[in-house]
Amino acid sequence: MRPISFKTETTKGTARTGILSTPHGDIQTPAFVPVGTKAGVKGILPEQLLSLGAQVVLANTYHLYLQPGESTVKDGGGLGNFMGWSGPTMTDSGGFQVFSLGAAFGRTITKIAKGEEDTVTQGVSVFDEEVQSQHGQLAVIDEQGVTFTSHLDGSLHRFTPERSVEIQHSLGADMFFAFDECTSPTEPYAYQKEAMERTHKWAERSLKAHRQNLEANRKQGIFGIVQGGRYEDLRTESAKEIASMDFDGFGIGGSFSKEDMMGALQAAVQHLPKEKPRHFLGIGEPGDLLLGIAEGMDTFDCVAATRLGRHGTIYTKRGPIHLKTEKYKSEHEPLDTETIIPGTEGFSRAYVSHLLRSGEMLGQIIASLHNLGFIIRLVDEARAALHAGNFDEYRRDFVYTYYGRTL
């Protein structure tokens, strides 16, 4: 008996709802997964996550390995107990940090190359700020793994597929990802193919390392990751290869442009087993979430909601707004009159703008809470629309209201 299982409930074309069962509870899908990089969602308490409707939390293997160390988390009862969260948990593999420490170090590059509509970030990268440090750049990739320097003190470290799995066994999340190489969206075809083939080899080694640990195999599920950049033929090849392996679920890695996202996603999803869950890594822009749901993805994670909130941008049904700008200093209406998030009631745009402009931590917390609640509710409403049979209309109306355009 595997520790996780997936059951489809309703379908609408390629979109679907389901139940992802884990050792720490069921997840109603599609679902958004808040990111608690260092075993904590920035500015949000575990009980607040519950009030927002969060069902599962994802933490970062690279960061927890460096600080406080996987043994500390293990001795604390595993990720969930350590952070005071009783629900399901996930960890990534550290592969994206290899990407951010290497080719993309110090540059405002995300997993998804931005289109013209992506003004929401106000120049904010979705990379962890901690990765961009004064210690210089080093991430040397070879066929066996990656050698890199710590952003904390410049010390030298090495990840292999086996080491990544070993760390994630100690962290003890219900679900974790095989070690992969996440490339920049701007990398040429030849390198995307090389990185994809390396990811396939690392996937085999990650899976073998997991299955050999009988105790972990009973408690944790492992997901393989599809790569291939923006190229549909590579995505197809990668999906077929990863799907042929005995993973418990599958992740779609980033590394494509906005224009290529749908094609790359469609090329991958059609070759993945329908009876297993699919996770879209690093996806948090509202329109991208609805696109992912339409194309059959089940879960999503991204740091953008809290990252943007800390920098003063909030989501509203009419599109994102940046509260630090002058016009919001005297707007005494709610943050979003159409979406009131638990824990933010009674706070006006003018008040939160004042806090943000003054550098007060409370402003960042309120904005982060609002954004995370907005995104979780968006996905929850999409799931309800799928159950009701009107997802296409829901998505069309949201996109028109939020972006001011039709699908």
Can 301 be counted among the known catalytic residues? yes
CA–centroid distance for 364 within its chain: 20
Catalytic residue among 92, 288, 298, 336: 92
Output the furthest CA–CA distance in the chain (Å, rounded): 61
Which amino acid is present at 217? N
Catalytic residue among 180, 298, 301, 336: 301
Catalytically active residues are 92, 301
